Chain A
Amino acid sequence: MSGRKLGSSNRRLAIPILGLFIAVAGAACSGGAGGGGGSSSSTITLAAVDNPSMADLKKLVGDFQSSHSGIQVNIVTLPEDQLRQQVTQDVAANSGRYDLFTIGTYEVPLWAKKGWIENLSPYIAKDSSYAPDDLIPGIRGALTYNSNLYAVPFYGESSMLMYRKDMLSAAGVTMPDHPTWDQVAAAAQKVNSSTVNGICLRGLPGWGEQLAPLDTVVNTFGGRWFDPQWNAQLNSPQWKQAVTFYVNLLKSAGEPGAGNAGFTECLNAYNSGKVAMWYDATVAASFFTGDAAKNSGYAFAPTKVKDWSGWLWAWSLGMPSSSKKKDAAWTFADWATSKDYAKLVGTKLGWARVSPGTRTSTYSIPEYQQAAGAFAQVTLDSISHADVTHPTVDPVPYIGVQYVDIDEFQQLGDQVSQEFAKVIAGGQTVDQALAKAQTLAAAVGKNYQH
């Protein structure tokens, strides 16, 4: 019946349909006025990675709201990769969806330079009780750009060696406080058996996964990503020695299926007594259960040439320059990273759950010392000695211990780690992987050779 005009009854039906559409569209627009960024001017939105410290903050946000009746806080948790993408999109498009976000040490100097995040030093200066000097120096340095703090630490970590004292003792191994990688490898071989693997190391590709521990090994073996003129250095003997060592250790005494092992997999293997040692984040010890909690010993990150080879990472609160509620956002960031917040977590949720690695004063609280026990001092000393500005034996033009603080590193790191994953899986040799990695790094280095 083509070409037939709508009759009166058709028009009667069309009008309500059109009306419904307009009503929905109208509701959308009116909802948008309130919905975009919160229903009232004092509602702030924090985008955060999910980790146990953040879960505790969610539980305690009511305490903040009851003492600051004018500010409501919405916390959105996202996986790390999604958070990075969303926050980048938010600041780049200046859309103001978030008033605060958790930001890593990798992003802080980069985003501060671009003007994406607010300089927090003026805000800190207004609060005499904030005590920025109490922030652990290594962390404070990593969050500083042009002598100003651009984020405040909520959680900090370095890396350390965790080992089962009972298993090592049964194999006749004594682990020193400051072991070398050669000592660790020898211990791993000795304790390795058909039921227990010597060590768990991350093999899962990703710049924040496998490359984090491997980078610290490279650093202490004397390797570096670039020389001061931004020439890629991945074809150096030090890189070959470090990667060969890491892969051989995994193959001879590491966990099965190492190519898929990240933090979670290693934690589970360690907790269930399937591995005797684990080199990873200092926070890992807080998640130990059963025999792992009772019988673990802790040593500083193993070394080769360079001392203090542990990594440095902090999830910190940063404020996007696009936020329209900066004062309210700072009030919350101030509260969540204050000395008093640590005490609040301790008294309300338990001292073992206080966010580690942020404030020196936390480590002098007797209750925290007792709860964090054996790994508290190792954590504090590891973080204090990690230096993002001097991560390697030879000089480098970049900052960052387990990363290179340039925009291209996320992609470069992911690609390079995939090449190493192929080596772990037996798909190629160390030489082949390093040759490809060198080409990738050289292309990035050219961007900085002016």
Chain B
Amino acid sequence: MSAKVVAGGRFQFPTKKVAWSIVGWLVVFIFFFPVLWMWLESLKTEPQAASSPPTILFLPTLEEFQTVLSGDFPPFFINSAIACIGSTILVLVLGLPAAYALAIRPVKRTQDVLFFFISTRFLPFAASLVPLYLLARDLQLLDNIFALGLIYTTINLPLGVWLLRSFLLEIPPELFEAARVDGASFATELRRIVVPLIAPGIAATSLICLIFSWNEFFYAVNFTSSTAATTPIFLVGFISGRGLFYAKLAAAATLASLPVLLAGWIAQKQLIRGLTMGAVK
């Protein structure tokens, strides 16, 4: 932030800019504070983590991370990875052609189809629990990670289709016309035009689906028990009726949030482009 030279050679301090920056950082800090607090708690001992007023100055320790990692974390992590990555891939594989059909080659009653897609999200999760649970029980699909992945796919697919469609609408129709004049097939259009042009959008959609699936607890706790239990189930296992558990829970939550943070960090460039696509025409 540099001071501006105005007429007469005097420097004018950019007060407005500084004020907005402070407001911006303040908002960021408010949003980020719970995460920061979780990290700090994970580096404390249990008595320090549970102390009131909170312990601010302390000697960091990785003791609770060791406790968490000495447990059975890997199977939960692997289950989460299977369900999340599998469902995200499935959302893209099914959602991209659907979005293409709705955006580039609109079928009859496109608006109705779009409404139908999103209407599946109107139903509260709890309302769908009993029928889905009974279905899963009868099909012997309880405690099955692939079944959980399929449920996540059905949850995220409408969102994926809507998001991908909005990105596809940004592609100038002339590009498709030019490709078709050159004899490009549907597959070529998808591969050579759609995917490269909306790559940031695909990255954003993938990450959103991944985050939703990774953090999902309601279906995970109801449809799994031991074999297919996911990371959120591992986390709540630390909530103890007797004894202190805040530091352990914070350490486990820190570990559980790392993959999503990492994915977000890797894809941040694409993500920002994806999320702002269509914002400026």
Q: Is A31 an interface residue (CB 8 A)?
A: yes
Residues of A within 8 A of B93 (CB): 17, 20-21
Q: How many A-B residue pairs have C-beta atoms within 8 angstroms? Tell me.
A: 165
B positions within 8 Å CB-CB of A: 47, 50-52, 71, 86, 90, 93-94, 97, 104-108, 133-134, 137, 139-147, 149-150, 185-188, 190, 221-222, 225-229, 233, 236-246
Residues of B within 8 A of A425 (CB): none
Decide if B52 touches A268 in the complex (CB within 8 Å).
yes
Residues of B within 8 A of A2 (CB): 105-108
Q: Is A41 an interface residue (CB 8 A)?
A: no
Q: Kindly identify, within residues 258 to 292 of chain A, every residue whose CB is under 8 Å from any CB belonging to chain B.
A: 263-265, 267-269, 271-272, 281, 283-284, 287, 289
Tell me, rounded to whole Å, the shortest Cβ–Cβ distance linking A88 to chain B.
12
Residues of A within 8 A of B239 (CB): 50, 79
Separation of A12 and B142 alpha carbons in the complex (Å): 34
In this complex, what residue of A is CB-closest to B239? A79
Decide if A76 touches B225 in the complex (CB within 8 Å).
yes
Contact of B242 among A79, A95, A281 (CB under 8 A): A281
Tell me, rounded to whole Å, the shortest Cβ–Cβ distance linking A413 to chain B.
16
Q: Is A170 an interface residue (CB 8 A)?
A: no
Separation of A47 and B94 alpha carbons in the complex (Å): 36
Provide 7 A-B residue pairs closer than 8 Å at the C-beta atoms, listed in order of the A residue: A9-B186, A13-B186, A21-B93, A50-B239, A52-B240, A93-B137, A208-B241
Decide if A28 touches B142 in the complex (CB within 8 Å).
no
Separation of A37 and B229 alpha carbons in the complex (Å): 12
Residues of A within 8 A of B242 (CB): 51-52, 263, 281, 283-284, 287
Residues of B within 8 A of A29 (CB): 139-141
Contact of A76 among B51, B146, B229 (CB under 8 A): B229
For B106, B139, B147, B246, the residue with the greatest tally of chain A CB atoms inside 10 Å of its CB is B147
Tell me, rounded to whole Å, the shortest Cβ–Cβ distance linking B152 to chain A.
12
In this complex, what residue of B is CB-closest to A8? B185
Contact of B140 among A3, A33, A49, A76 (CB under 8 A): A33
Tell me, rounded to whole Å, the shortest Cβ–Cβ distance linking A333 to chain B.
17
Separation of A14 and B97 alpha carbons in the complex (Å): 9
For A35, A208, A263, the residue with the greatest tally of chain B CB atoms inside 10 Å of its CB is A35
Separation of A197 and B189 alpha carbons in the complex (Å): 74
Separation of A281 and B240 alpha carbons in the complex (Å): 14
Known contacts A12-B187, A36-B141; A24/B86 CB under 8 A: yes
Q: Is A365 an interface residue (CB 8 A)?
A: no
Known contacts A1-B104, A24-B86, A24-B90; A32/B238 CB under 8 A: no
For B142, B190, B229, the residue with the greatest tally of chain A CB atoms inside 10 Å of its CB is B142
Known contacts A17-B94, A31-B144, A289-B47; A24/B240 CB under 8 A: no
Residues of A within 8 A of B50 (CB): 264-265, 267-268
Decide if B94 touches A1 in the complex (CB within 8 Å).
no
For B140, B188, B222, B226, the residue with the greatest tally of chain A CB atoms inside 10 Å of its CB is B226
Residues of B within 8 A of A33 (CB): 140
Known contacts A281-B242, A287-B243; A32/B147 CB under 8 A: yes
Tell me, rounded to whole Å, the shortest Cβ–Cβ distance linking B23 to chain A.
32
Q: Is A97 an interface residue (CB 8 A)?
A: yes
Decide if B185 touches A9 in the complex (CB within 8 Å).
yes
Decide if A7 touches B186 in the complex (CB within 8 Å).
yes
Residues of B within 8 A of A58 (CB): 71
Decide if B108 touches A3 in the complex (CB within 8 Å).
yes
Residues of A within 8 A of B246 (CB): 264
Decide if B105 touches A13 in the complex (CB within 8 Å).
no
Q: Is A74 an interface residue (CB 8 A)?
A: yes
Known contacts A50-B239, A264-B50; A17/B97 CB under 8 A: yes
Q: Kindly identify, within residues 227 to 265 of chain A, every residue whose CB is under 8 Å from any CB belonging to chain B.
A: 257, 263-265
Residues of A within 8 A of B141 (CB): 28-29, 32, 35-36
Residues of A within 8 A of B104 (CB): 1
Contact of A95 among B94, B137, B233 (CB under 8 A): B137
Separation of A312 and B155 alpha carbons in the complex (Å): 44
Contact of A82 among B133, B142, B149, B221 (CB under 8 A): B221
Decide if B145 touches A35 in the complex (CB within 8 Å).
yes
Contact with B along A70-89 (1 / 0, CB 8 A): 00001111111010001001
Contact of A287 among B97, B143, B244 (CB under 8 A): B244
Residues of A within 8 A of B143 (CB): 35-37, 97
Residues of B within 8 A of A27 (CB): 146
Separation of A148 and B140 alpha carbons in the complex (Å): 33
Separation of A363 and B201 alpha carbons in the complex (Å): 66
Separation of A264 and B228 alpha carbons in the complex (Å): 31
Tell me, rounded to whole Å, the shortest Cβ–Cβ distance linking A293 to chain B.
12
Separation of A208 and B238 alpha carbons in the complex (Å): 18
Decide if B236 touches A79 in the complex (CB within 8 Å).
yes
Besides A14-B97, A49-B240, A287-B244, 11 other A-B contacts (C-beta < 8 A): A2-B106, A13-B187, A13-B190, A27-B146, A28-B144, A36-B140, A38-B227, A45-B225, A50-B238, A74-B227, A77-B237
